[in-house]
C-alpha cells in the first residue's frame, strides 16, 4: 500500500479547499499541502452567486486576473420579488447608475472593489484548483477518501480509493455538505431550524438577461412564487442557472416529481418565462437538499472544518461561497500562526471557531426572518408560521428588531448588522418586507452612555496578510465589542462625553486631527449613527433623552443600496 505524507491534507478541491491551499502556500511555502478531490474537474456545481468579500480574497491569492479573464458576469446586486408586494426592488453593492463602462478584463481597483462575480462553477472551481497547484499544492483527482483513521479526536490518517493512504500533521475538511471528516469524527451537525428546503435547477443556453449594466454587469433575480422562489443567475454570455427552492415538506406533499414542480414554476413566473422564451435547456437537471444546519464544533486536535462542512445557511442570502472562502482563508492563517507558535494554539483555534459558528448562526437567523416576512408565500402560510413559532418570532416591528438582535449586530471583526446588511439597511428592509424596529435612536435620543459593566477585556484575532494580530475587544455573554474601525473611535468619543452636543464636538475634533481626510470622514464618521444603533441593540450603549440637551443631526453616510427597481 503506497503511503503519502504532507504537512497538511485537504479533503475537497472546491473553492474552500483551493482557497485554503493558496493562502497556505502563499504565506508559508515551506509547508506541503495535498488536496484530495473525489471528482475530476471541471464539473458543474450549484452555488454561483458571490458577494464582494470574495473578490478581495481572489486578489490576495493572486487569482483575480484569471477569474476576471473568464468573463463571468459582474454582479452588482440582486433584484427581488419578495415581501409586501409583487413590485420588484433592488439590493445593490454598487449603484447601477454610477457603474461606468470599463473594458474587460479589468484590475481589482476602483468600482470593481465593490462588486462580485456570478460564476460558472465548472470553470471557476477549476481555475482556483489549478491556481493552488501552481502555488505548489499537490492535487489528486479523482481521489476519494474511503476511511478516516483516528485516535480519539486526533486524525491519524486517511485511506484512499485505490489502496493508497495519506498522513499529515493537519487535516482540513473542505468536502462541503458531505462533511467527510466531520461525520467520521462524530461531530454533531443537526438542523438548527425548520428552514429545510430542497432545490431543483438546470442550466440554460441563450436566455435573455433581465438587466445589462455597463460592460458585463447585471443583477441576479430572486422571484417569489406562492410556494417557493426562483433564482435566475447568468453565468456567462450564453449560459444561465435557473433554480427553484421550495420547502421539503411541500415537495413531499405535492405528489409531483422534481421535474414537474420545476417546469410548473417556470410557467408560473412570467419574468423568467419571458427570459427563457428563446433559450434551450442543457438537460442537466439536478436536485439537492438546502437544509440549514450548524456543526457543534469546527476545530479539533489536528483538524479544521471549512465552508459547508461547518454549516449551511439557506441560499436566499447568497452567502454560501463567501462563508466558504472566508473560513478557508482564516483556517489557513490559523495553521500558519500555530506552526510559527506566534500565539497560543488554544486561543487561535478558539477565535476561529467562534467566528465561524457566529457567522453561520446569524445567517440562518436572518434567513428565517426573510422567509417569515414574505407575504408572497400564499401557499406556505403554515410553513412560515411554524418557523415563527419554532423561532419565537413576533413580526411586530420592535419585536422583530429585538429578535434579530439576539444574535448580535456586531461581529468579532467589527462588522455592523447581519449577513452583509448593515443596521440601517435592516431597518430599510421594512419598506419591502415587514417593518423592523422603530425610529433610529439617533433621531429620538440625545444621551448615549457607554455601558461596559460586567464586560471582560480580552484579545481578539485580527486576520491580516498571513498573520493574526491581537486586537482588543470587550466580551459580555455572547456579545462582543471589538475596538476596531468606527467602533474604536466611537468608544473613544463616548468615553469623553455621553451627550449628543458633546459627541458632535468630539467628531469635529476627530476630523480636524485627521486633517479632513475623506476616508476617515466616510468610513468612520459617516458610520457613527449606524454604530450607535448596533451598540444600543447589543447593550453596549444606554440611550435616553434629556431635555437639557438639544437634538442635533449626526453626520451620516447615506448609501441608497436598497430601492425600488427602476429597470423598466
Q: What is the distance of C-alpha 57 from the center of its chain?
A: 13
pLDDT bucket at 91, cuts 50 / 70 / 90:
very high
Between CA 156 and CA 479 the distance in angstroms is 37
User: Is the Cβ–Cβ distance between 156 and 184 less than 8 Å?
Assistant: no
- Reported as a single tens digit per residue, the pLDDT across 104-141 is 999 999 999 999 999 999 999 999 999 999 999 999 99
Cell of 290: 438546502
Neighbours of 376 (CB within 10 A): 20
Nearest residue to 353 via CA among 393, 300, 403: 300
Between CA 106 and CA 68 the distance in angstroms is 7
Mean pLDDT of 388-412: 75
The residues, any chain, with a CB within 8 Å of residue 327's CB and separated by 6 or more, are 16, 306, 307, 310, 355, 356, 359
Query: How much of the chain, in percent, has pLDDT values that exceed 70?
Result: 98
| 471 HSE (CA, 13 A, CB side) | 21
- Reported as a single tens digit per residue, the pLDDT across 198-245 is 999 999 999 999 999 988 999 999 999 999 999 999 999 999 999 999
Strand partners, 157: 149
What's residue 159's pLDDT?
96
User: Is the Cβ–Cβ distance between 293 and 190 less than 8 Å?
Assistant: yes
Nearest residue to 180 via CA among 357, 362, 14, 363: 14
What predicted TM-score, i.e. pTM, was given to this entire model?
0.94
User: Is the Cβ–Cβ distance between 189 and 295 less than 8 Å?
Assistant: yes
| CATH superfamily ID and name for 3-340 | FAD/NAD(P)-binding domain (3.50.50.60)
User: Is the Cβ–Cβ distance between 321 and 304 less than 8 Å?
Assistant: no
What's residue 393's pLDDT?
66
DSSP-based three-state secondary structure for 2: coil
**Domain regions of the chain by residue span:** 3-340, 394-558
Mean pLDDT of 149-165: 95
Nearest residue to 370 via CA among 228, 481, 498, 237: 228
pLDDT bucket at 45, cuts 50 / 70 / 90:
very high
Amino acid at each position: 500500500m503506497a503511503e503519502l505524507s504532507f504537512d497538511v491534507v485537504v479533503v475537497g478541491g472546491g473553492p474552500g479547499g483551493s482557497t485554503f491551499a493558496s493562502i497556505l502556500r502563499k504565506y508559508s511555502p515551506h509547508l506541503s499541502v495535498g488536496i484530495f478531490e473525489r471528482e475530476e474537474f471541471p464539473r458543474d456545481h450549484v452555488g454561483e452567486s458571490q458577494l464582494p468579500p470574495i473578490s478581495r480574497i481572489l486578489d490576495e491569492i493572486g487569482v483575480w486576473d484569471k477569474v476576471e479573464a473568464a468573463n463571468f458576469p459582474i454582479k452588482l446586486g440582486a433584484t427581488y420579488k419578495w415581501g409586501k408586494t409583487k413590485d420588484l426592488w433592488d439590493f445593490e453593492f454598487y449603484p447601477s447608475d454610477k457603474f461606468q463602462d470599463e473594458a474587460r478584463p479589468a484590475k481589482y481597483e476602483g468600482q470593481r472593489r465593490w462588486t462580485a462575480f456570478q460564476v460558472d462553477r465548472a470553470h471557476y472551481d477549476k481555475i482556483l484548483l489549478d491556481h493552488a497547484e501552481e502555488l505548489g499544492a499537490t492535487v489528486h483527482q479523482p481521489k476519494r477518501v474511503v476511511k478516516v483513521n483516528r485516535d480519539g479526536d486526533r486524525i491519524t490518517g486517511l485511506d484512499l480509493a485505490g489502496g493508497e493512504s495519506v498522513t499529515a500533521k493537519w487535516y482540513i475538511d473542505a468536502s462541503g455538505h458531505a462533511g467527510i471528516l466531520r461525520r467520521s469524527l462524530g461531530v454533531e451537525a443537526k438542523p438548527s431550524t425548520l428552514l429545510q428546503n430542497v432545490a431543483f435547477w438546470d442550466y440554460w443556453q441563450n436566455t435573455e438577461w433581465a438587466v445589462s449594466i455597463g460592460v458585463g454587469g447585471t443583477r441576479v433575480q430572486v422571484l417569489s412564487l406562492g410556494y417557493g422562489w426562483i433564482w435566475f443567475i447568468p453565468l456567462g454570455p450564453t449560459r444561465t442557472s435557473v433554480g427553484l427552492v421550495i420547502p421539503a415538506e411541500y415537495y413531499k406533499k405535492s405528489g409531483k416529481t422534481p421535474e414537474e414542480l420545476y417546469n410548473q414554476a417556470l410557467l408560473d413566473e412570467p419574468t423568467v418565462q419571458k427570459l427563457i422564451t428563446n433559450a434551450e435547456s442543457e438537460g442537466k437537471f439536478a436536485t439537492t437538499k438546502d437544509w440549514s444546519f450548524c456543526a457543534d464544533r469546527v476545530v479539533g486536535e489536528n483538524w479544521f472544518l471549512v465552508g459547508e462542512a461547518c454549516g449551511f445557511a439557506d441560499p436566499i442570502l447568497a452567502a454560501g461561497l463567501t462563508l466558504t472562502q472566508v473560513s478557508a482563508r482564516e483556517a489557513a492563517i490559523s495553521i500558519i500562526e500555530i506552526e510559527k507558535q506566534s500565539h497560543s494554539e488554544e486561543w487561535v483555534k478558539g477565535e476561529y471557531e467562534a467566528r465561524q459558528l457566529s457567522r453561520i448562526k446569524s445567517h440562518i437567523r436572518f434567513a428565517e426572518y426573510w422567509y417569515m416576512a414574505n407575504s408572497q408565500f400564499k401557499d406556505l402560510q403554515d410553513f412560515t408560521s411554524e418557523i415563527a413559532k419554532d423561532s419565537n418570532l413576533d413580526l411586530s416591528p420592535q419585536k422583530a428588531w429585538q429578535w434579530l438582535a439576539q444574535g448580535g449586530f456586531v461581529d468579532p471583526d467589527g462588522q455592523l448588522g447581519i449577513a452583509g446588511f448593515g443596521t440601517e439597511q435592516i431597518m430599510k428592509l421594512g419598506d419591502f418586507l415587514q417593518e423592523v424596529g422603530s425610529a433610529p435612536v439617533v433621531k429620538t435620543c440625545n444621551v448615549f452612555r457607554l455601558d461596559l459593566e460586567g464586560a471582560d477585556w480580552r484579545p481578539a484575532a485580527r486576520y491580516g496578510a498571513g498573520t493574526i494580530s491581537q486586537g482588543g475587544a470587550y466580551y459580555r455573554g455572547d456579545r462582543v465589542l471589538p475596538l476596531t474601525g468606527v467602533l474604536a473611535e466611537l468608544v473613544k468619543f463616548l468615553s469623553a462625553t455621553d451627550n449628543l452636543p458633546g459627541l458632535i464636538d468630539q467628531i469635529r475634533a476627530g476630523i480636524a486631527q485627521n486633517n479632513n481626510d475623506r476616508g476617515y470622514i466616510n468610513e468612520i464618521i459617516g458610520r457613527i449613527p449606524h454604530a450607535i444603533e448596533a451598540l444600543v441593540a447589543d447593550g453596549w450603549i444606554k440611550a435616553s433623552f434629556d431635555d437639557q440637551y438639544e437634538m442635533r443631526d449626526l453626520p451620516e453616510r447615506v448609501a441608497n443600496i436598497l430601492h425600488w427597481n427602476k429597470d423598466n
